[in-house]
Chains A and B, each alone.
Chain A
């Protein structure tokens, strides 16, 4: 069987929101100018870019995570795309956006209004970048939502209403995506209201054009076998994330406000590729066997060192990809 898999690398490996020595580099353009050729040197010619409105308000336009930032540094989006191409990055496969930034108070109108506005912006921006998809997290972490809204007496009913509004939000975004020839894909995170198989039934309530993302680590932490889940959802998949983890959620960390950081026992939930426990070779072979021909994005979102993550990932891929 011919290998149809298109592989890209997610720029979410650059952790701009958390402290570590030398983190300040990430806010200046020179860091990214140095990074792009390294991505190519590691054998990747496509990327996925996070869309992070924080960098609109913060004034840190060196971080290329919004249209605003890119237009300040490159004048036009087209110039940015050409800049990447001139450095060997041929394709921006997709954009990922999470509404977590807007879950910061008890005002749901603010949450839905801001999310709809900026996710719409992300989709239109994706069109300009030449992307194929926008990967959207349908809900913030359950625990974070509960932090701001948990005082409601009937949490179950409140949650049901929240998800009804989420359906409307996603249908509105699907309309924008369809108008821009972008596939809207829903990310199935282990901390989501829609974790596990909940997202499959949720998908029936939204526009038919909306697809699912398949993320190996998130599936594993949710208690699913990533390869089996991939097989079962093969006809629903719009994008794939090749991720690794050794984390087992035996303390319902998924319900906490900061589920990426288990407070009872600190750990790097998302490991560099090949440094967790997921059978990535089997997962990759399953991608082939189900005939998946969309984008597969390598993500090392909690890596301690992006440059090393690139090389570790390439090393891992060299082991799991059999020559066709």
Chain B
């Protein structure tokens, strides 16, 4: 049994069909590759074929997915039939810095945990705050407030068999200057960490040093590369910077950027990491190509180190 199970973070946007039975007919209507990216049956088969046996979902999937399948349980069963299980769910701890909003934030967190349980998943990977732009640097009390509310959601999650993992992003209000302070203020019994390798590197952390320091907190990974670690403040703090006007990409497939994944896997071996790793290729023009490229890199470069 492998220590690592690989999942794919869902960035397919809305997939409008459950299963296309008239595939050839549909293709011939316009003879484009849209037919190949329009039903969950094929999307899940691509995942299974490439060895990604988990799918991590996000709230933006639900407005079409739930009416399409009828319920989280129905999607879970559909995916399971194709050898894929829901590994986790992305979530935002909205307005975490603002205690006056915490009641709603907690309710939102409960709903996320509950729906994840219905999907059969375990990892609630949660952005710790809203964007830096618009909030400016959080003061000490706001950072404490953000840590308090994720801990509260974490208690609820733990009670329901879910691990909440802090998923920081390079443009959030919890940023380079207060990232570690925030982690230390959360309760390690209830709040874990989802290490997004690219996001943390873009933020300015040293990936290997960060993992070595916080390995006991890290429950899962988002595995992705970047070509531009240590972004300057003026980029990380600017408005809506995740998607850049000129098409600049922050995220690349492992091996296509500059991060030291082999070093990371040596540390995983040292710390005996066990759990889900989601590959995430947000920003790619071709999710299937990115998935295949990543699988090749994992098999050839990373599995020999630790699997």
Contact = CB atoms under 8 A, between A and B. Distances in A.
A101 interface: yes
Given A17-B13, A18-B14, A27 B243 contact: yes
A267 interface: yes
A196 B276 CA distance: 51
B29 A267 contact: yes
Interface string B123-150: 0000000010000000000000000000
A324 interface: no
Interface string A12-31: 00000111111111011111
Question: Interface size class for chain B?
Answer: 35 or more
B285 A25 contact: yes
A21 B11 CA distance: 12
A304 B27 CA distance: 11
Contacts of B70: 147
A28 B285 CA distance: 12
Nearest to B26: A266
A304 B13 contact: no
B38 interface: yes
Contact of B67 (A19, A27, A61, A144): A144
A101 B63 CA distance: 8
A283 to B, nearest CB: 22
B33 interface: yes
A58 B16 CA distance: 20
Nearest to A141: B67
A20 B37 CA distance: 6
Interface string A117-152: 000000000000000000000000001100100000
A261 interface: yes
B234 interface: no
B33 A19 contact: no
Contacts of A267: 26, 29
Interface string A70-92: 00110000000000000000000
Interface in A27-69: 27-31, 58-62
B32 interface: yes
Nearest to A62: B243
B167 to A, nearest CB: 15
B242 interface: yes
B244 A19 contact: no
A28 B244 CA distance: 6
Contacts of A24: 283-285
A157 B37 CA distance: 40
B247 interface: yes
Contacts of B247: 25, 28, 30-31
A258 B12 CA distance: 17
Given A21-B285, A266-B17, A304 B34 contact: yes
A305 interface: yes
Given A59-B240, A266-B20, A268-B29, A20 B34 contact: yes
Given A18-B13, A263-B18, A268-B29, A59 B131 contact: yes
B29 A60 contact: no
A15 B32 CA distance: 15
Contacts of B283: 24
Nearest to A147: B67
B63 A104 contact: yes
B239 interface: yes
A14 to B, nearest CB: 13
B243 A59 contact: yes
A261 B16 contact: yes
B34 A263 contact: no
A265 interface: yes
Question: Interface size class for chain A?
Answer: 35 or more
A305 B32 contact: yes
Contacts of B244: 28
A207 interface: no
Given A104-B63, A258-B64, A60 B243 contact: yes
Contact of A30 (B12, B13, B37, B245): B245
Nearest to A144: B67
A181 interface: no
Contacts of A20: 32-34, 37
Contacts of A266: 17, 20-23, 25-26, 35, 38-39
A24 B68 CA distance: 23
A140 to B, nearest CB: 10
A58 B63 contact: no
B185 to A, nearest CB: 26
Nearest to A260: B16
B15 interface: yes
A304 to B, nearest CB: 4
A30 B30 CA distance: 27
A167 interface: no
A200 interface: no
A176 interface: no
Contacts of B62: 104
A258 B246 CA distance: 34
B245 A21 contact: no
B286 A21 contact: yes
Contacts of B246: 28-30
Contact of A73 (B23, B25, B66, B245): B245
21 contacts: A17-B14, A20-B33, A23-B13, A24-B285, A25-B285, A28-B243, A28-B244, A59-B240, A60-B240, A61-B239, A61-B240, A62-B243, A147-B66, A147-B67, A147-B70, A258-B67, A260-B16, A261-B17, A266-B22, A266-B26, A267-B26
Given A18-B14, A19-B15, 8 more contacts: A18-B38, A19-B12, A19-B14, A23-B13, A266-B20, A266-B35, A268-B29, A305-B32
